[in-house]
Chain A
């Protein structure tokens, strides 16, 4: 029986870069060859969430949401648009961080749909945050002498969003790799504006837990942290701020290792991904280590 992977994401009517990470990760997974088909669907682009399933020939479809946390999109919009008529959020049996998979029949196509939890709350997302730090510092061993900040929206719109930030900050802390680790928010304390107040070490890597680069990660956060007065003029990496060197990484979702999280979600849901996880982990490694 053939199996398809469908990565669903928000997309944008205004920002052409919004879909880029989703396409990139789909391409990485396609190249790894674990699925007969790898497709992408969007809330704001095409194919729409409503019509993406009918673009797959496979009977068995694994749907992985490119979203940071459990909430409105993963619990209401996506299952409704995919016509998972029997969807009940209780089927995920989640505490806000632990959604894994629930399986339904799509009402229009009759396909078996394994609806997975969002990438943002998967444990392997922590590895991507760390990999992002390696990428932005161009150092596969970065950690000692460095602080690490994970940045999120905050609870204003969705309390699970802050839970995801705390969860990964805690996990990075447990690695005992960085000297200091801090969760920061855009719209509540501790605020990303005061990033340097929360670190004693000089070098701080800042990684926003966002799926794609856009207004928040490219304009708001760089200006809020004082990396630049005007995002249009750009900023240095690292940038000197209040006696610190801030290594601003941009959206974690653009990191190529994100493809691994998507695969892990599908594998956890029962997809046969063969050696794809190992192969993706290998092909997305940070360049300095690639020649070893």
Chain B
């Protein structure tokens, strides 16, 4: 405990109501509005934790009780450093050490070893600063880097630096969706104070803390598919025309846990739930995002087409290979398929072979033109 922490505790104990926080109770007996030291001497202080209670303490006796008490440094950290009652940031930091489940002393002990929570693909470890003042330090990194030493990771200190590192995926491709399930690995923010820890998370996953907090309080303002698409204008005005059944496929295609770490809470409408799995993410998705809306525009136009019947002749294996290629592309596995692994349907040589066999000179599958009119003209 630092001198300024005890001073703050004394001031708080002398004030109305004293201190009552996370199991710590410190107050001056006989009220709390003495105007001089004499009253304090007369009444004395109470110092109580779940483990013990002492009353009638002088200032120096109170100091002796407070010294080394995790309850006091815990109080100081939350009530004099973080403050921000009823704010998303405070709630998020409380979550990082399961403050609603564990007593301050138990947390003090656990923070010594590090307390770990996950947030999307982020692993957040809260520890004590080591200065004996109860302040916390945070390590933020990719969950897949949990077991790696900080020295083996690219170290960052500036929360805004997170913008650049999360801009591209591991293969260097632009990530248009910050909560996409393709956060690159290999970096760490280490030794952050609470402000920078929250800011780093905010930079990597914008607004997720604010929306999670609203959800915790039962105040998440969900905009369902019809709410969001009905308010679109301009080139996106058309998206509201996408058929109901296609919205299922949109959610299955774009909002699955394998694609985005948010948990989809929006449905088709307030009283019409989608069957697609919303996922298990720590934080909610409160409306179809701009990526879904932009893709939805393309799907809306595609769904305006009428189906036609085409006739192709395929061997059973060729049919299965086409299915296998679709799966591999949809699951993002194409890059993992080895060049000589001809047992994989989406292997490049296998695919080139199929194209050489089945496409005509105009790129038509099985020589069947996409548009029947085209066929007549060709004849």
Contact = CB atoms under 8 A, between A and B. Distances in A.
Contacts of B177: 46
Interface string B162-187: 01000110000010111100000000
Contacts of A55: 202, 206-207, 210
A46 B168 contact: no
Instruction: Name the prevailing secondary structure of the A interface residues.
Output: loop
A16 B168 contact: yes
A52 interface: yes
Contact of A48 (B84, B202, B289): B289
Contacts of A77: 233-234
Interface in B202-243: 202, 206-207, 210-211, 214, 221, 223, 231, 233-234
Interface string B132-169: 00000000000000000000000000001001000110
Contact of A72 (B89, B214, B234, B294): B234
Given A23-B163, A55-B202, A44 B290 contact: yes
B179 A108 contact: no
Contact of B210 (A15, A16, A44, A54): A54
Contacts of B87: 57
A47 interface: yes
Contacts of B294: 13, 44
A46 B167 contact: no
A44 B293 CA distance: 10
Nearest to B213: A54
Interface string A89-121: 000000000000000000010000000000000
B234 A51 contact: no
Contacts of A14: 174, 176
Given A23-B163, A76-B233, A108-B221, A51 B211 contact: yes
A51 B176 contact: no
Nearest to B234: A72
Given A13-B176, A27-B160, A57-B84, A51 B206 contact: yes
Interface string B284-301: 001101110010000000
A126 B101 CA distance: 58
B210 A43 contact: no
Interface string A173-207: 00000000000000000000000000000000000
A72 B235 CA distance: 11
A47 B234 CA distance: 21
A50 B287 contact: yes
B301 to A, nearest CB: 17
Contacts of B210: 51, 54-55
Interface string A29-50: 0000000000000011111101
B262 to A, nearest CB: 10
Nearest to A51: B207
Interface residues of A, number: 24
A72 B236 CA distance: 13
Interface residues of B, number: 30
Contacts of B202: 55
Contacts of B160: 23, 27
Contacts of A244: none
A171 interface: no
Contact of B178 (A27, A43, A46): A46
B168 A45 contact: no
Contacts of A48: 207, 289-290
Interface string A1-23: 00000000000111110000001
Interface centre among B89, B174, B233 (most CB of A within 10 A): B174
Contacts of B88: 54
Contacts of A72: 234
A285 interface: no
A50 B163 CA distance: 20
Contacts of B286: 51
A248 to B, nearest CB: 25
Nearest to B286: A51
B229 to A, nearest CB: 13
Contacts of A216: none
Contacts of B174: 14-16
A55 B92 CA distance: 13
Interface of B: 84, 87-89, 160, 163, 167-168, 174, 176-179, 202, 206-207, 210-211, 214, 221, 223, 231, 233-234, 286-287, 289-291, 294
Interface of A: 12-16, 23, 27, 43-48, 50-52, 54-55, 57, 72, 76-77, 80, 108
Given A13-B294, A46-B206, A54-B207, 18 more contacts: A13-B290, A14-B176, A44-B176, A44-B294, A45-B178, A46-B177, A48-B290, A51-B206, A51-B207, A52-B206, A54-B211, A57-B84, A57-B89, A72-B234, A76-B233, A76-B234, A77-B233, A80-B233
24 contacts: A12-B176, A13-B290, A13-B291, A16-B167, A16-B174, A23-B160, A45-B176, A45-B178, A46-B178, A46-B206, A47-B206, A50-B287, A51-B206, A51-B210, A51-B211, A52-B206, A55-B202, A55-B206, A55-B207, A55-B210, A57-B84, A57-B89, A76-B233, A108-B221
Give the 6 A-B CB pairs with smallest separation, nearest first: A47-B206, A51-B207, A13-B176, A16-B174, A54-B210, A47-B207
